[in-house]
Amino acid sequence: MSYSKITLEKKDDNIYYLGFGKYEDKSMNVIYEQTLKEIDMAMDEVALDKEAKGLILFSYKDNCFFAGMDISVIEGLSSEAQAIEGCEAGHAIFNKLEDLKIPTIALVDGTCLGGGLEMILACDKIVASNNSKTAIGLPEVMIGVLPGFGGTYRLPKRVGLTKAMDMILTGRQIRHKKALKMGLVDYVVPKERLMTLGKKYLFEKKVNKKSFKESLTDSVMNSFLTRKLIFQKAREKVLKTTKGFYPAPLKILDHLESSFGDKRARYLAKEAKAFGELSQTKQSKNLQHVFFLHDGSKKLRDGANPSVVSRGAVLGAGTMGGGIAWLFAKNNQAPIMKDISKEGLELGLKQSSSVFKKALKRRRMSKDDFERLQRSISAQLDYNGFKAVDLVIEAVVENMNVKKAVFKELEGEVTKNCILTSNTSSLSIEQMATALEDSSRFAGLHFFNPVNKMPLVEIIKHKNVSDETIDTLYKWTLKVGKTPVVVNDCPGFLVNRILAPFLNEAAFLMEEGVSIKDLDKAAVNFGMPMGPARLMDEVGIDVCSHVGEIMEEGLGERAKASKLSDKCVQAQLLGKKNQKGFYLYDEAGKQLDVNPKVQELLPSKKVKMDEVEIQKRLILPMINEAASILDEGIVDNPGDVDLGLIFGIGFPPFRGGLLKYADSEGLDRILESIKGFSESVSDKRYGPMPYLEKLVSEGKTFYN
């Protein structure tokens, strides 16, 4: 038999070895349709061999068993029936594996996700390596579906329904220690002994009859009434987290409950049906779109020529500097953190250690690692050691003159190959570049606050920057686990330029008499992580006021800023940082009620506006601004806008991103509404962007 995706070899001892990833020159194994076909043939071949004594599944790849099914296959499913057919084909193959009369064992080193896990759940035993990269899970819920190759049937059998439910609902990835404890794997062994010990374990009797320790919840699941109650509670929890925006978790619960106790054929038929239905939902299609955007962002451009960053430095040890130093340290790139004041250094160290402490507390880090990484940050007041640094990230105060002076000084302290960047959130990168003798190695590198939580990093170009600088920054950003987006210089760059009209329009709505609570509720009901008033409090109303000024200055009358934030700043209402913003906050930062002092700055007569109307007023100006961003070539494509907003401000992923949402709503309708608003306001802030008008007149969408 000839195979192109797998290898199947029978050795002298009559043991079959089924290997994955030998022929592909990629770091990750993915299950393609052809892989499944070949596994199917392999199962027939093994089943027919009367001499076969056992079967070992393994991967040729370092750190990866399987990353899951090829998502473009799921994307290509155009009907429920087609999706069901696909699941049935997968079921038939993995059933063959499960039904083999010989012992079977899977050897897992590294990632084992989705279809990869569903496959090995059909084996008698699973051995995992003690590799820190070993991560096992069923992430299908993240693209709005459920595991459709038997995962919902076999995982509960292996680890119990309670734990399986948690894994399937959250997509959580399980590390080797926990996997062993919960019975997800049967053995954990050193990576280098995986094959030798795996072969030995193949013929050993299973230690536990039941691979999982039954939890209390599992033991009462057999009672119909208790089970009903448990699922009811789970539904309530899901609704609280997803606010009902995501259909998959609820469908998963329905399926797990209704299939409880069913025999394999019936259970799997129900799984296929549930998968088929979910695969065709708008939310799943949108989440798949986001998956592809994110996946695409992980690839360097063709012909990229990045240099290696081994050591970094941060200038300015404030809120951002401390966070960036943490990022370097966490990635074993022992950073230098320089400030002009001791107090600054202390603050920066406190900032980074608070994140490490949380990881320690949650047992995501050992005490040794905590101490080693925290110590690896060298906090200093001079440029000692800067000659050994490959990347400097400047995060000093937001002042062009100060930053230019800092860069001038810095140029004499580093080697000529060192890349220099600024974390400015609002100053012109083009202008800052003029301070440097060699600006080809300079760019903007804009992190979001807090650095440990916010995934997006904007890499900002200017006209003299070299491709090598951008490539290096892109690669480094990926290496430290962030999502990069390359942006040309403009006021607010990508994310803040689009966020600004959202916040600005919110302020105008408040001035029109819409209540703060109604406003925030409308945004949250649209799917935003928080409403605009709450967001302004988080960012700082003074910062918002400053950004508003910059936008108006840079973009003209169409970005005319509301005066509300200025008034708040004058009244010392700065947001969460001084516990007084649009809302009040307690000492611990918990949001209390709306701040009565803000009400004094707003009209006493309240206007009741329809929620959909509020949502339009908030979202359409963002779409309008995004159109001008594309027109000016600030980013290359609509995908960058969507990626930036999802990872930068948490624009709801189930909507696929701002421009995907705009496309699905119909650009002609959106343009019509924008024109309507434009006519209703006395200034020029809703003027429809020519690019949007052009798309509509040509019958096109942002993506097409």
Active-site residues, by number, are: 458
DSSP for 57-121? EEESSTTEEE--B-HHHHHT--SHHHHHHHHHHHHHHHHHHHH-SS-EEEEE-SEEETHHHHHHT
Q: In the complex with ligand NAD, which residue's Cβ is closer, 321 or 527?
A: 321
Q: In the complex with ligand NAD, which residue's Cβ is closer, 3 or 448?
A: 448
How many Å apart are CA 539 and CA 534, to the nearest integer? 9
CB of 583 to ligand NAD, least distance (A): 19
How many Å apart are CA 241 and CA 260, to the nearest integer? 24
Q: How far is CA 627 from CA 28, 47, 236, 426, 673, in A?
A: 36, 59, 39, 20, 15
Per-residue 3-state assignment (H helix, E strand, C coil) for 11-70: CCCCEEEEEECCCCCCCCCCECHHHHHHHHHHHHHHHHCCCCCEEEEEECCCCEEECCEC
Q: In the complex with ligand NAD, which residue's Cβ is closer, 413 or 665?
A: 413
Alpha-helical segments (H) within 376-515: 400-411, 429-433, 467-479, 495-512
CB of 573 to ligand NAD, least distance (A): 18
How many Å apart are CA 628 and CA 189, to the nearest integer? 56
CB–CB of 36/54 below 8 Å?
Answer: no
How many Å apart are CA 385 and CA 142, to the nearest integer? 44
Stretch that binds ligand NAD, among 22-30, 144-152, 223-231, 392-400 (CB under 6 A): 392-400
CB of 394 to ligand NAD, least distance (A): 8
Confirm or reject binding of residue 317 to ligand NAD (CB under 6 A). Answer: yes
CB of 343 to ligand NAD, least distance (A): 7
CB–CB of 551/497 below 8 Å?
Answer: yes
Out of 19, 21, 171, 321, point to the residue binding ligand NAD (CB under 6 A): 321
Out of 52, 53, 157, 318, point to the residue binding ligand NAD (CB under 6 A): 318
Q: In the complex with ligand NAD, which residue's Cβ is closer, 25 or 382?
A: 382
Q: In the complex with ligand NAD, which residue's Cβ is closer, 90 or 491?
A: 491
CB of 325 to ligand NAD, least distance (A): 11
Confirm or reject binding of residue 621 to ligand NAD (CB under 6 A). Answer: no
Q: In the complex with ligand NAD, which residue's Cβ is closer, 55 or 646?
A: 646
Q: In the complex with ligand NAD, which residue's Cβ is closer, 402 or 571?
A: 402
Confirm or reject binding of residue 398 to ligand NAD (CB under 6 A). Answer: yes
Residue nearest to ligand NAD (CB): 318
CB of 71 to ligand NAD, least distance (A): 32
Closest CA to 422 of 334, 489, 350: 489
Amino acid type, 605: K
Stretch that binds ligand NAD, among 135-143, 390-398, 473-481, 522-530 (CB under 6 A): 390-398
Out of 251, 338, 558, 660, point to the residue binding ligand NAD (CB under 6 A): 338
3-state class (DSSP) for residue 618: helix
CB of 315 to ligand NAD, least distance (A): 5
Amino acid type, 643: L
Stretch that binds ligand NAD, among 62-70, 338-346, 359-367, 616-624 (CB under 6 A): 338-346
Out of 122, 315, 559, 634, point to the residue binding ligand NAD (CB under 6 A): 315
Confirm or reject binding of residue 454 to ligand NAD (CB under 6 A). Answer: no
Q: Which helix (H) or strand (E) holds 181?
A: helix 176-181
Q: How is residue 435 written in tokens?
A: 């301070």
Confirm or reject binding of residue 344 to ligand NAD (CB under 6 A). Answer: yes
Eight-state DSSP code of residue 681 = S
How many Å apart are CA 330 and CA 460, to the nearest integer? 24
Closest CA to 484 of 622, 292, 293: 293
Q: In the complex with ligand NAD, which residue's Cβ is closer, 445 or 620?
A: 445
Confirm or reject binding of residue 173 to ligand NAD (CB under 6 A). Answer: no
Out of 396, 503, 602, 662, point to the residue binding ligand NAD (CB under 6 A): 396
CB–CB of 305/468 below 8 Å?
Answer: yes
Confirm or reject binding of residue 477 to ligand NAD (CB under 6 A). Answer: no
Helices 224-242 + 247-258 axis angle, to 10: 170
How many Å apart are CA 158 and CA 165, to the nearest integer? 12
**How many residues bind ligand NAD, per CB under 6 A?**
24
3-state class (DSSP) for residue 514: strand
Confirm or reject binding of residue 381 to ligand NAD (CB under 6 A). Answer: no
Out of 124, 271, 339, 505, point to the residue binding ligand NAD (CB under 6 A): 339
Confirm or reject binding of residue 319 to ligand NAD (CB under 6 A). Answer: yes
List Cβ neighbours of 198 (8 Å cut-off, separation of 6 or more).
56, 58, 105, 107, 127, 189
Out of 290, 349, 395, 528, point to the residue binding ligand NAD (CB under 6 A): 395
CB of 422 to ligand NAD, least distance (A): 7
CB of 313 to ligand NAD, least distance (A): 11
Confirm or reject binding of residue 576 to ligand NAD (CB under 6 A). Answer: no
Closest CA to 176 of 207, 209, 133, 146: 133
Which neighbouring-strand residues pair with 567?
A: none
Sketch the per residue contact string, 106 through 135, with ligand NAD: x for CB under 6 A, - otherwise: ------------------------------
Out of 71, 239, 250, 402, point to the residue binding ligand NAD (CB under 6 A): 402
Confirm or reject binding of residue 340 to ligand NAD (CB under 6 A). Answer: yes
Confirm or reject binding of residue 449 to ligand NAD (CB under 6 A). Answer: yes
Closest CA to 164 of 98, 257, 88, 244: 257
CB of 6 to ligand NAD, least distance (A): 48
Q: In the complex with ligand NAD, which residue's Cβ is closer, 316 or 575?
A: 316
Closest CA to 345 of 357, 353, 334, 355: 353
CA 167, distance to chain mean position in Å, is: 18
Q: In the complex with ligand NAD, which residue's Cβ is closer, 364 or 408?
A: 408
> What is the b/e burial string over 79-110, where b = at least 16 CB atoms within 10 angstroms of the residue's CB?
ebeebbebbbebbebbebbbebebbbbbbbbb
Q: In the complex with ligand NAD, which residue's Cβ is closer, 253 or 324?
A: 324
Provide the strand spans (E) within 147-248: 174-175, 187-189
Which neighbouring-strand residues pair with 456?
A: 483
Out of 300, 388, 397, 607, point to the residue binding ligand NAD (CB under 6 A): 397
Q: In the complex with ligand NAD, which residue's Cβ is closer, 321 or 531?
A: 321
Sketch the per residue contact string, 404 through 443, with ligand NAD: x for CB under 6 A, - otherwise: --x----------------xxx------------------
Which neighbouring-strand residues pair with 127?
A: 107, 187
Stretch that binds ligand NAD, among 166-174, 300-308, 335-343, 571-579 (CB under 6 A): 335-343
Confirm or reject binding of residue 254 to ligand NAD (CB under 6 A). Answer: no
Q: In the complex with ligand NAD, which residue's Cβ is closer, 141 or 406?
A: 406
Which residues lie near ligand NAD (CB under 6 A)? 315-321, 338-341, 344, 395-398, 402, 406, 423-425, 447-449
